[in-house]
Amino acid sequence: MAKLNVAPTKSNLLNLERQLDFAQEGYDLLEQKRQILIFELMSRLNRAEEAERNVAEALRQAFEALKETTLDVGSEAIDRVTLGVAMKHEIEMTDDRLMGMGVPKVTVRAEPMGVRFGVSGTSSNTDIAMSKFVDVLPLLADLAELENAVMRLARELRRTQRRTNALSKIFIPQYQETIDYITGSLEERERESLIILKMIRDRLAT
């Protein structure tokens, strides 16, 4: 590791020691942040895997109900009756703060089902199928929230890792090597000064 190109003076030594202390404090804070990010990332990864399973199962049930409805009344009848159905679902997106970064929070408020289809031209499975598809919406919002959070946390973790690596492998060793060099140079000068003073005293004494 190449040392910094600074003159070996006491003022530079004091300045570098302050910078080294600051860099070490920064490294400690970044390392703490890195550990928190890893914990949050792994936690959300596990939850995202569970959310994927929940969505897959909910969709399986919804499509199974749709299949039953299709067998009951046919796909053309389903297309016809669903044209007259309009539901308003609300999606709200906010950001939670974590370690200075925004982590998305997605909330879905699905409109209650109620009575959507008439008694003619459909079957009870039609309402069941639609209800099951509506039930999937909050699960999809939860999955989207977790996947987005995982991507943001992973990106922030990579940035934090690069910074900790730069401090621990470049800046801190560079500062330390320069400090050692200046300290050695100053000690050498002090020894030379003592030798010169001793020679002067010896000459004055003769």
Q: How far is CA 61 from CA 55, 89, 118, in A?
A: 10, 21, 23
Cα separation, 89 vs 108, whole angstroms: 7
Count of all residues that appear for the chain in the document? 206
Domains of the chain: 15-205 (1.10.287.3240)
Q: For position 5, what pLDDT does the model report?
A: 84
Specify the pLDDT at position 31.
95
Determine the pLDDT at residue 131. Answer: 83
Write down the pTM of the prediction. Answer: 0.74
Q: Is 74 helix (H, G, I), strand (E, B) or coil?
A: coil
Helices and strands (DSSP H and E) totals, the chain: 4, 2
* pLDDT tens digit at each of 206 positions of the chain: 667 888 888 899 999 999 999 999 999 999 999 999 999 999 999 999 999 999 999 999 999 988 888 877 777 777 666 666 666 778 888 888 877 788 888 888 877 766 555 555 566 777 788 888 888 989 999 999 999 999 999 999 999 999 999 999 999 999 999 999 999 888 888 888 788 887 887 777 76
User: What is the reported pLDDT for 26?
Assistant: 94
Q: CA-CA distances (angstroms) from residue 26 to 11, 21, 166, 167, 171?
A: 23, 9, 11, 8, 11
DSSP 3-state of 107: strand
Helix (H, G, I), strand (E, B) or coil at 87: coil
Residues 6 or more apart whose Cβ sits within 8 Å of residue 126: 69, 72, 73, 78, 81, 117
CA distance 20 to 6: 15
**Residue 145's closest CA among 110, 112, 102, 111?**
102
**Quick one: pLDDT at residue 116?**
57
So what's the pLDDT on residue 83? 64
